[in-house]
Amino acid sequence: MSAPTAGIINVTGYVGVELARLLHQHPGVDLAWVTGRSAAGQKLGSIFPHLTGIDLTIQPEPGGADVVFSAMPHRESAAVIAPLLERGMRVVDASADFRLKDISEYERRYGVEHPASHLVSEAVYGLPELHRQELSSARLVANPGCYPTGAILALAPAVREGLIERDIVVDSKSGVSGAGRTPALNTHYSEANEDISAYALEGHRHLPEITQELDLLRPGQSVSVTFIPHLTPMTRGILSTCYACLAPSAEGMGREAFSQLYRHFYCEHPFVRVVESSPHTKHTWGSNMCLVYPTVAPDTGTLVVISAIDNLVKGAAGEAVQNMNLMLGLPETSGLEGLAVVP
């Protein structure tokens, strides 16, 4: 029996090129084609020399495949995906187009009318640690944003068990690759190097993803999240530090009790590891792992949970491949077993 085939729409962005790298080494899937209108007709390896071993020519339009990854920007992605679904293909969308179930919230945050609102209700939010069962039969998967992946995984166990109050602070620091491959002044080397800055203080687009998924964990007890992202002078990685006051039910719980709770919550999830000390982004570089460290601040009794991911792997392309594995009935870890690269 031949292996399932995959295709990538918009391979020329950081997420697309990372998808190509991961799918090329996947033991159970054949990468059949890649698209990129600005580079159509050129060999993939001529645009990205590190992918010279992939003998594919970039196409202007999608072909046929068992599963298609869309790495198009929001709004453009939904318009491309709808015809693929009509042709019977399964899709993992790396854009924001199908992540939010509240269409009005999507339109407010992204400033556009939703181009395929009729598909929103069937899209499965692609965080396997929370939606593994639904992913196995999904036709359309909305791959999570990078910031929400780290924040939700850091907070999910405590929220589900009702161990924290509703007010939560998420302080996240991301490498510049999270801004994409298109040149911009704020990610220019001379501007970003030796600097760190907060941004989107008026409200980041990823915030409603975080609240949507945390609210689903404990119906009837909605959370209130203050989310502040920062740009840091590194290429890859997101470090999220999450703070919340303990609920009365968690009185007396310390670091070890929370560590045990978190280990139990994630014991069947291969890409979340509860660690014994505060993780570094470098500990996840190039891997699909999310490292989580829960502790309790001794002076205030505040729960502090730190998570680290590679924003282009667990925060994007790796999670997309993990979702594909579940959709196709393949081992969840297939093609994603690589360890982090250090230094």
Q: Are the C-beta atoms of residues 127 and 213 closer than 8 Å to each other? A: yes
The encoded tokens of residue 39 equal: 């580079």
E-strand ranges in the chain read: 5-9, 30-34, 67-70, 90-93, 124-125, 140-142, 164-174, 197-198, 224-231, 238-246, 272-274, 290-296, 302-309
Which residue type occupies 104? Answer: S
pLDDT at 37 exceeding the cut of 90: no
3-state secondary structure of 54: coil
Share of the chain above pLDDT 90, in %: 97
225 CB contacts (<8 Å, ≥6 apart)? 151, 168, 169, 170, 207, 210, 211, 214
Q: Are the C-beta atoms of residues 211 and 225 closer than 8 Å to each other? A: yes
Instruction: Give the residue among 18, 23, 8 at the shortest CA–CA distance from 335.
Output: 23
pLDDT at 1 exceeding the cut of 80: no
Mean pLDDT (whole number) for 243-254: 96
- Give the model confidence (pLDDT) of 67-88 as tens digits: 999 999 999 999 999 999 999 9
The catalytic residue among 146, 242, 245, 290 is 146
**Which fold, 5-122?**
Rossmann fold (3.40.50)
Q: How far is CA 283 from the centre of its chain?
A: 17
For residue 240, the cross-strand partners are: 172, 307
- Residue 146 appears among annotated catalytic residues: yes
Domain 147-311, second-level architecture: 2-Layer Sandwich (3.30)
- Give the model confidence (pLDDT) of 148-177 as tens digits: 999 999 999 999 999 999 999 999 999 999
Q: Are the C-beta atoms of residues 271 and 289 closer than 8 Å to each other? A: yes
- Give the model confidence (pLDDT) of 96-144 as tens digits: 999 999 999 999 999 999 999 999 999 999 999 999 999 999 999 999 9
Which residue type occupies 290? Answer: C
pLDDT at 243 exceeding the cut of 90: yes
3-state secondary structure 12-50: CCHHHHHHHHHHHCCCCCEEEEEECHHHCCCEHHHHCHH
- Give ranges for CATH 3.40.50.720 in the chain: 5-122
What pLDDT is stored for residue 224 in this prediction?
A: 98
3-state secondary structure of 98: coil
Averaged pLDDT of the chain: 97
Q: Are the C-beta atoms of residues 36 and 337 closer than 8 Å to each other? A: no
Which residue type occupies 153? Answer: L
Backbone dihedral region for residue 311 (phi beyond 0: left; psi -120 to 50: alpha; all else: beta): alpha
Q: Are the C-beta atoms of residues 213 and 152 closer than 8 Å to each other? A: yes
Q: Are the C-beta atoms of residues 6 and 90 closer than 8 Å to each other? A: no
